[in-house]
Amino acid sequence: MTNNARTIRVSLVIIVLAVVTMLALLVYDRFFTTQEIETFQGNINLTSDNSDTGLLEFLDRNEGKVVRFDGYIDTSMSIAENQIVEQTCDLNIEAVIDRSVVGTPIPLPFYEDVNNFHCSPYALVLDIGPHTIYEYSSGGTGIVMVRFKGLFEVFTTYHSGPTTHYHLKEIAP
């Protein structure tokens, strides 16, 4: 075997070993290292303002990551503000309650003045299944809440309008 052939052979072995090592590190990092899973424990408001909930910041910060939600989806209709938001955003509360909004963009209201706003350029898209706690409850006084708890992967898509859709894809525990 000539020196050139030997050099090429050794180089190929080194390249193959480097690729295998990189793949092994990626697999190890993905499946065997524990990453801190951030939890959102606030409400996701569908009939009132989300400006001070920290929801958008949480979703932006966790793009491409697995997160935990442990709170409520609030579709309450107890005050006039809730009714204005429901009408302006064309929210179907019954669809939220019976889970038929799964896979459909749900507007996330953000505003300073409820009497002068357009429905938000942000929407939530739920991809949930049997591992997500999604339980409806109401207080009889216009309070309508859905218990929302589970693990989700967050990813974002951008649409015309412009509208940003935050997708929550259920992850089995």
Q: How confident is the model at residue 74 (pLDDT cuts 50, 70, 90)?
A: very high
pTM of the model: 0.77
Lowest mean per-residue pLDDT among 25-34, 38-47, 52-61, 117-126:
25-34
pLDDT at res. 31:
65
Q: Determine what percent of the chain is predicted with pLDDT higher than 70.
A: 96
Where are the chain's structural domains? 1-33, 39-170
Query: Can you tell me the mean pLDDT for 125-143?
Result: 93
> Has residue 106 got a pLDDT over 70?
yes
Please choose, from the candidates 114, 123, 124, 110, the residue with its C-alpha nearest in 3D space to the C-alpha of residue 161. 123
> Has residue 126 got a pLDDT over 70?
yes
Q: CA 153 to CA 104: how far, in whole Å?
A: 17
- Residues 6+ positions from 111 with CB-CB distance below 8 Å: 49, 51, 117, 120
> Has residue 30 got a pLDDT over 70?
no
- Evaluate the CA torsion angle 12, 18, 22, 25 in order and state its sign: positive
